[in-house]
Chain A
Amino acid sequence: MLANPIVGTLLCLSGIYAAALWPGTGFAFMAGFGMIFAILFASEAVRKISKYGLGTGVPSVGMFSIGIGCVISLYSLSLNSIWGPAVCAVLALIIGWVSGFLINKVLHMNIPSMEKRMSEMAVGSTLAMTASAIVIGGTLDSGFILQNFIGVGVAALGFIGCSLAIFHAFNANLGPDEAADRTRTLAILDGFLVMFVLGIVSFLSGDVVGPLVTIFISIVFILLTSYRYWTYIQRDAWKITSTGLLPGEEDLN
C-alpha cells in the first residue's frame, strides 16, 4: 500500500511539511522519510515501465525523471513559499504527463500506461529532490537553500543520489525471478543510504543536532533494511555458495 503513488505523495508531503514547519533542525529527518516514500513509488513506476523493454536500459528512464525532477524542484525551492512542495508536485504531474504523451505518441514508443508512469516518476523524483534539500536544514527558506544546498554543490549529490535510488532497485533485481517485495526493500535501503550521506553533508551548514539525529536514524534503518533484504535474497535464491579466494600464483603452477 505504501508503494501507491497517491499515498506516497501524501506521506512525502507530510514528511516535508513536518520537517519544514518544526522550528530548528531536530525534525529534519522527517523530510528524509518523505524522500524515501517518494523514492519508493517512483521506483515502483520504474519497475512497471521497464518490464516492457525500453531498449535503452533501466537507468535512462531514471535519469529522465530526475532531469525533470531537478528542474521543477529547484523552481519550487526558489519560490520561498510554504506552498512550494505542493505546487511542484502538481507541476511535475502535468509536465511528466505531457512528456510521456509526447514520447509515446510522437516517438512511437507505443507503451501502454507510459503517460501515467512518466507522471508518477516525475512526481516521485521531484518530491525526492525537494525533500533532500529540506533534510539539509529543515527549512523552506530560499536563501538558506541557495547557500547550503545549491551553493556548496550538495544539489548535485541530491540529483545523482535520488536518481540512483530510483532506478537501481529494479536494475539490480530485474530478471525472470524478480520479486516485488525484494525490489521495494532495495529501493528503501538505497533511500536510507542517500539519507545517511545527506546527514553527513548537512554538517556543512554549521548545525550539529539535526545531522546527528539524521545519521543515527538512517544507520538504524540501514541495518534493519539490509537484514530484511538479505532474508529475501536467501528466500529467492536456489542456493548460495562461496566461491572462495582467487588462486595464488603458486597454486596455478
Chain B
Amino acid sequence: MIESTIETILFSIFGASDPAFVFFLLLLVTLGGILITLSVHLIPVGGAPAAMAQATGVGTGTTQLAAGSGLSGLLVAVAVSVETQNMFLGIILGGIGAAVMISLVMLMSNIGYIYGIGVPPASGKAVRDPITNDRQDIYVSKGTEGHGVPTASFISGIFGGFLGGAGGSLIYEALIRTTQVSSALFIVLAVILSIALFFINAVIASYNIGGTIEGFYDEKFKKLARSVVVSAAVTFICGALCLLTFINFGGFI
C-alpha cells in the first residue's frame, strides 16, 4: 500500500520516466559532482601569489583552472557521445581531453617560470618530492612558498584533470539519458546544466582548500572529506532540479 503510494508520488513528480532509473541517474550526477570536487583538490593551483612566482602551482584561480580543463573535456565528451552514442567512451575520452588541456597549461606555465622569470620548479610544502625523491627546500627562494610546477604536482595535476573531465562528462551523459527523445536542443540544455554544476562543485572545493593547493601531498588534501559531503548535498539538490528540467522540457519537442 505504502509502496504503491510512494510510486504514485514519484510518477507524478518524474512523469512517464521510470522513477528508479531517474533516481539512478541522479546518483550518477552526484558522483560526477564528487569527482569534480576531487579533481580540484588534485590540480596544483597557486592563485595570485603563483602569478608572481611566489607560490607553487599555476598562477590563476581554482575555478578558472578547473573550468578550463573540465569544459574542454566536456567538449570532447559531447563530440564523442554524439558520434558514437557510447557512454563509457564519452566519459573516458572526456577525461583524457581535460588531462591533455591541464598538462598543456602546466607545461606552458613551467616554461614561463623557468625561462621567463628564471626560477626552478620547487615545492614549498615538501622537503623531498614524493615521486622523484629530489631535494626541494634548497631550491625555494627566500620569502616565497616555492615556485613553478614540480614533478609530483604535475602528475597530480594530470590525474586531477582526468577526474574533472570524467566527472563533467558523467553529468552530461546522465542528463542526456533522462529522456528518450533525441534532439540537438537537449544536447545544448545538457551542456549548459553540466557547466552550471561544474562551477558549483569547483567553487565548493576551492573554498575548502582556501584558494591554493600543491597536489595530493599537500596538508590541505586531508580536508577532502568535508568538501565531498557539501558537494554531494548541493549536487544532489541541484541535480534533481536538472533532471526535472529535462523531463519538463521533454514535452515541448
Contacts and interface: CB of A to CB of B under 8 A. Distances in A.
B237 A74 contact: no
Contacts of B197: 67, 71
Contacts of B67: 63
A98 to B, nearest CB: 7
B249 A146 contact: yes
B54 interface: no
Given A103-B204, A106-B230, A155-B188, A59 B61 contact: yes
A169 B94 CA distance: 35
A209 to B, nearest CB: 25
A153 B48 CA distance: 32
Contacts, number: 136
B229 A106 contact: yes
Contact of B241 (A71, A103, A147): A71
A146 B196 contact: no
Chain B contact residues (Cβ within 8 angstroms of A): what range? Answer: 35 or more
Contacts of A60: 61-63, 203, 206-207
Contact of A98 (B64, B198, B237): B237
Contacts of A7: none
B178 interface: no
B144 interface: no
A59 B63 contact: yes
A36 B249 CA distance: 27
Given A60-B61, A60-B206, A156-B192, 12 more contacts: A56-B206, A64-B200, A64-B203, A66-B199, A67-B203, A70-B192, A71-B238, A79-B248, A103-B207, A106-B226, A146-B253, A153-B188
6 contacts: A56-B61, A61-B203, A64-B200, A70-B195, A99-B234, A147-B185
Nearest to A61: B203
Contact of A56 (B62, B244, B249): B62
B199 A55 contact: no
Contacts of A66: 196, 199
B193 to A, nearest CB: 6
B210 A150 contact: no
A33 B210 CA distance: 36
B203 A78 contact: no
A55 B210 contact: yes
Contact of B192 (A80, A98, A142, A150): A150
Main secondary structure of the interface of A (DSSP, over half): helix
Contacts of A150: 185, 188-189, 192, 249
Nearest to A152: B188
Interface residues of A, number: 40
B170 interface: no
Nearest to B234: A99
A56 B63 contact: yes
- For A59, A71, A103, the residue with the greatest tally of chain B CB atoms inside 10 Å of its CB is A71
A68 B197 CA distance: 8
Interface of B: 47-48, 61-64, 67, 184-185, 188-189, 192-193, 195-200, 202-204, 206-208, 210-212, 226-227, 229-230, 233-234, 237-238, 241-242, 244-245, 248-249, 252-253
A146 B229 contact: no
A160 to B, nearest CB: 9
A103 B203 CA distance: 10
Contacts of A61: 203
A56 B65 CA distance: 12
Contacts of B189: 74, 146, 150, 155
Contacts of A57: 47-48, 61, 63, 211
A101 to B, nearest CB: 10
Contacts of B61: 56-57, 59-60
Nearest to B230: A102
A109 interface: yes
A159 B238 contact: no
